[in-house]
Structure 1
């Protein structure tokens, strides 16, 4: 079993990759998705935790499993990232689920969850920062015989070159994901996207 991860600039590309991973035999329970929701594009269950998401505090719901991965997207907050839409094992691992209810915040937990599942720490920081800056991350636990297909699927659906993205971030002074960093707003995300499009 190997953990593969892809960062996508758009939720739609990530969503398509998830569908293709499932079609090739990766169980839904082994796939996670975490997408930035600073612009409020996903209107999930509203709660006080959802309202607190902009400050990086509080948790809405972590979902997945029986209800289906993508049909069960839930809102949560990750300090330094802000409001995200998440589903699957990675989100549950990042915040710790107790009897289906989420406790605490994901303060840096996303880095720990990724590294515990085999993602190199250096890369985990880039993935977390990518979500902070408006991206969507897909992580899957994949049987060894499916790894080449799964990696090809992530590339096919426009996953970001992590080494290139790291260089881009570092050129701007970034040194690693900081869970205490200010949350990107919709305007910040637009500016960041505009720089990549140039």
Structure 2
């Protein structure tokens, strides 16, 4: 299995891509979405660089727009990065780590997920309010995903 990571400028753009993938028949159990978030007064605030500040979104709204496409949503505290919002297959991998604060940081998570390089670049994108869409699959499956979301993201890398 190989991994493709697409970078989206905002949560809205990433969710639109998820819906396009789903409508095209892509196996959504192989798709994950990660971005920064905060929890304030029982609401998830998804950070996006389009707003430049935390955009308040009720948990039901975030969960509804994402769970309709992906399974599993989680929040994970990462030292040096803050709270990450994760949805999809990646949540299961993250859940295997220590609950609460993860001691190894985001780079350790990426290594465990099979991403061997570009850790600092991905962390920088998250710090800037962007969202990472992960897809695990064969070269053919990744080609299909890239064709569907072509032009809607800032870049794609394969690992």
What band does the TM-score fall into relative to the shorter chain? 0.5 to 0.7
Judging changes above 3 Å, is the alpha-carbon distance between structure 1 residues 75 and 113 closer, same or farther for their aligned structure 2 residues? Answer: closer
Q: Deviations over 1:25-50 (max 9, x none)?
A: 332221111122241533328xxxxx
Structure 1, residues 81-104: CA drift from partner, whole Å, max 9, x if none? 22332112223323426xxxx723
More helix by percentage: 1
How far apart are 1:136 and its partner, in Å? Answer: 0.7
Q: 1:7 touches 1:136 (CA, 8 Å); kept in 2?
A: yes
- Which residue of structure 2 lines up, in the alignment, with residue 85 of structure 1? 85
> What is the alpha-carbon root mean square deviation over aligned residues?
2.9
- TM-score after normalising by structure 1: 0.56
Among 119, 122, 126, the residue aligned to 1:124: 119
Partner of 2:153: 158
1:18-167 aligned at under 5 Å gives the runs: 18-37=18-37, 38=47, 39-44=54-59, 68-70=68-70, 73-96=73-96, 103-121=99-117, 123-160=118-155
Q: Distance in 1 between matches of 2:103 and 2:150?
A: 29
Q: Which structure: larger Rg?
A: 1
Conserved in 1, the CA contact under 8 Å of 2:71 and 2:89?
A: no
After TM superposition, give the deviation of residue 70 of structure 1 in Å.
Answer: 4.7
- In 1, Cα distance between equivalents of 2:138 and 2:3: 9
Contact residue 77 and residue 84 of structure 1 kept, 8 A? yes
For structure 2, list consecutive stretches of 5 or more residues without a partner in the other structure.
Answer: 38-46, 48-53
